């Protein structure tokens, strides 16, 4: 049973072809490609890349929103998100490989362009980390490395 | 028609992209294939000999292992143009004390993985032919990167070069293609290093089948393979990734240096890992 007042998020996902899923979210829709790919020319963002994109989006948008709440001016925020799997060869079904292809490590680098004092940015950063659902989830599940750099 | 089962060893997940393109091409040309990936050549050769797969994309050492395991009952049916007439180099410091092979007596020679034909076995076989035995006349610094993948991964050869570069070895071994590309990209500063000696020519990877593989299926499969063209942009992409311009018929004339080296070095008597 759900606790009273608990919000439930749901999306609907349909595999519309071999290599593409269509995601329906409220009034929005988007496509996701194969689970993961090693091909730079892959037609669509993969499921893994979409998840990493969501992680990065949560932190850069979260940072802007928290900064705004504290009336701190941020000119730009950008993040790079890198992930490593425990054993990508297992995903490919390589006979003799062991383990699983789960995410082993995520490294997020955030670049914040602001003239605000470093201590104020640090407070915003800590608040973002403490209030971001995906970050809080990944932090318990993988080796998550998060750093930010202030660009003046 | 049932799909032809083709085995390949993956040294890097990126290699799967090459096989995706090949699979699609065969499918589109009425000769479907299923690609089975193995983590090492030992497993792939066993699978070929036990009939689990029809065709194995074998390293030269895996070709010899298949022939030994089947008592000569395998055939080499196709290879890349670039698999033919390869050589390995022994590289030393330019202007250094090592001027000829004999000067390596008492020295350290850095090589790749223990099962790398190009990075270890053939270069050490060349030295043995000149009367220099590893462990007796010189010491071997071996870089066992991804043993079981027969040196497909260039990491062992690169580590061997770094060993030379750091002054911890007097010579190192590498495939000619690696020497060329590392000189070109600056990994090897040309003014500092030079080739001391070059091995005999040898052949590299080869598609291998058992003698009992259906001749009709083999012909159909080869017809499709040989119809791949570097002029086709999608094939060109795959061929660039796999390092070839054209598929050629398999041949047996280029495996002598490796066979001789493996025997001279007692490779077949050693544990594989």
Scanning every residue of chain B, which has its alpha carbon at the shortest distance from the alpha carbon of A85?
B13
A93 touches chain B (CB under 8 A): yes
CA atoms within 13 A on the CB side of B30: 5
Which pLDDT does position A5 carry in this prediction? Answer: 75
| Full pLDDT tens readout for chain B, 273 residues | 789 999 999 989 999 999 999 999 999 999 999 999 999 999 999 999 999 999 999 999 999 999 999 999 999 999 999 999 999 999 999 999 999 999 999 999 999 999 999 999 999 999 999 999 999 999 999 999 999 999 998 899 999 999 999 999 999 999 999 999 999 999 999 899 999 999 999 999 999 999 999 999 999 999 999 999 999 988 998 999 999 999 999 999 999 999 999 999 999 998 876
DSSP bridge pairs for A78: A111
Contact B43 A95 (CB under 8 A): yes
Instruction: Quote the CA–CA distance of B252 and B267 in Å, as a whole number.
Output: 20
Q: Reply yes or no on whether the pLDDT at A93 is more than 70.
A: yes
Contact A95 B13 (CB under 8 A): no
Query: Which residues, 6+ apart, have CB-to-CB distance to B144 below 8 Å?
Result: B113, B114, B156
Q: Reply yes or no on whether the pLDDT at A4 is more than 90.
A: no
Residue A2 lies in a domain: no
Residue A67 lies in a domain: yes
Contact B13 A89 (CB under 8 A): yes
Which pLDDT does position B59 carry in this prediction? Answer: 97
Contact B39 A88 (CB under 8 A): no
Contact B16 A41 (CB under 8 A): no
Q: What percent of chain A has pLDDT over 90?
A: 92
Phi, psi of A106 (to 5 degrees): -125, 130
Residue A107 lies in a domain: yes
Residue A1 lies in a domain: no
**What's the domain range around A24?**
12-151
pLDDT bin (cut points 50, 70, 90) of residue A152 is confident
The answer to whether A97 and A87 are in contact (CB under 8 A) is yes
Instruction: Quote the CA–CA distance of A86 and A74 in Å, as a whole number.
Output: 36
CATH of the domain at A91: 3.30.300.20
Which pLDDT does position B119 carry in this prediction? Answer: 98
Number of domains in chain A: 1
Q: Name which of B125, B123, B133 is nearest B87 in CA terms.
A: B123
Scanning every residue of chain B, which has its alpha carbon at the shortest distance from the alpha carbon of A41?
B17
The answer to whether B30 and B77 are in contact (CB under 8 A) is no
Scanning every residue of chain A, which has its alpha carbon at the shortest distance from the alpha carbon of B14?
A38
A5 touches chain B (CB under 8 A): no
Residue A6 lies in a domain: no
Element (H, E) at B48: helix B41-49
10 Å CB burial of residue A114 (0-12, 13-18, 19+) is: buried
Q: What is the pLDDT of residues A126-140, one digit of tens each?
A: 999 999 999 999 999
Residue A111 lies in a domain: yes
Which pLDDT does position B226 carry in this prediction? Answer: 97
What average pLDDT does the segment A36-41 reach?
93
A18 touches chain B (CB under 8 A): no
Scanning every residue of chain A, which has its alpha carbon at the shortest distance from the alpha carbon of B234?
A41
Q: How far is A39 from chain B (nearest CA, A)?
A: 6
Supply the pTM of this predicted model: 0.89
Residue A4 lies in a domain: no
Instruction: Quote the CA–CA distance of A8 and B174 in Å, as a whole number.
Output: 59
Cβ–Cβ contacts within 10 Å for residue B178, how many?
Answer: 22
Which pLDDT does position A1 carry in this prediction? Answer: 57
Contacts of A91 in chain B (CB under 8 A): 13
Contacts of A97 in chain B (CB under 8 A): 39
Contact A89 B47 (CB under 8 A): no
Contacts of B21 in chain A (CB under 8 A): none
| DSSP 8-state code for residue B40 | S
The answer to whether B53 and B36 are in contact (CB under 8 A) is yes
Residue A93 lies in a domain: yes
The answer to whether B206 and B78 are in contact (CB under 8 A) is yes
Which pLDDT does position B134 carry in this prediction? Answer: 97
Contact A92 B13 (CB under 8 A): yes
Residue in B17, B37, B237 nearest the CB of A38: B17
Distances in Å between the Cα of B67 and the Cα atoms of A12, B42, B63, B117, B122 are 54, 13, 6, 16, 18
Which pLDDT does position B2 carry in this prediction? Answer: 87
Mean pLDDT, rounded, of chain A: 96
Contact A89 B10 (CB under 8 A): yes
Among B7, B10, B46, pick the best mutation site for testing chain A contact (most A Cβ within 10 A). Answer: B10
Instruction: Quote the CA–CA distance of A40 and A59 in Å, as a whole number.
Output: 25
């Amino acid at each position: 049973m759900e606790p009273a007042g608990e919000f439930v998020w749901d999306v609907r996902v349909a595999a519309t072809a071999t290599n593409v899923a269509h995601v329906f979210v409220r009034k929005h829709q988007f496509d996701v490609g194969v689970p993961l790919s090693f091909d730079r020319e892959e037609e669509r963002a993969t499921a893994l890349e979409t998840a990493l994109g969501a992680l990065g989006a949560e932190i850069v948008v979260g940072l802007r929103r928290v900064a705004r709440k504290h009336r701190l001016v941020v000119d730009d925020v950008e993040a790079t998100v890198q992930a490593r799997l425990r054993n990508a060869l297992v995903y490919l079904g390589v006979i003799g490989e062991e383990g699983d292809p789960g995410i082993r490590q995520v490294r997020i680098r955030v670049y914040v362009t602001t003239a605000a004092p470093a201590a104020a940015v640090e407070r915003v950063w800590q608040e973002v980390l403490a209030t971001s659902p995906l970050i809080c989830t990944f932090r318990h599940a993988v080796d998550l490395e998060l750093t930010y750099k202030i660009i003046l | 028609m049932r799909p032809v089962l083709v085995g390949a060893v993956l040294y890097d997940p990126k290699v799967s992209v090459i096989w995706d393109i090949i699979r699609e091409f065969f499918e589109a040309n009425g000769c479907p294939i299923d690609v089975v990936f193995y983590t090492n050549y030992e497993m792939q050769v066993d699978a070929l000999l036990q009939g689990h797969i029809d065709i194995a994309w074998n390293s030269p050492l895996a070709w010899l292992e298949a022939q030994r395991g089947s008592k000569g009952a395998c055939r080499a049916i196709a290879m890349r143009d670039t698999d033919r007439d390869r050589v390995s180099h022994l590289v030393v410091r330019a202007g250094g004390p090592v001027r000829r092979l004999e000067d390596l007596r008492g020295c350290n020679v850095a090589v790749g993985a223990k099962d790398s034909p190009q990075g270890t076995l053939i270069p050490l076989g060349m030295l043995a032919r000149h009367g220099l035995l590893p462990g007796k006349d010189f010491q071997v610094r071996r870089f066992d990167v991804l043993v079981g993948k027969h040196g497909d991964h260039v990491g062992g050869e690169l580590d061997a070069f770094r060993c030379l570069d750091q002054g911890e070895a007097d010579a190192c071994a590498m495939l000619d293609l690696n020497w060329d590309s590392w000189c070109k990209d600056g990994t090897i500063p040309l003014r500092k290093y030079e080739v001391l000696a070059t091995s005999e020519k040898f052949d590299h990877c080869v598609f291998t089948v058992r003698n009992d593989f259906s001749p009709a299926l083999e012909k159909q499969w080869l017809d499709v393979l040989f119809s791949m063209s570097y002029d086709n942009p999608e094939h060109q992409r795959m061929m660039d990734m796999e390092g070839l311009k054209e598929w050629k018929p398999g041949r047996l004339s280029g495996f002598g240096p490796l066979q001789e080296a493996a025997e001279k070095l007692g490779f077949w008597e050693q544990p594989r890992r």
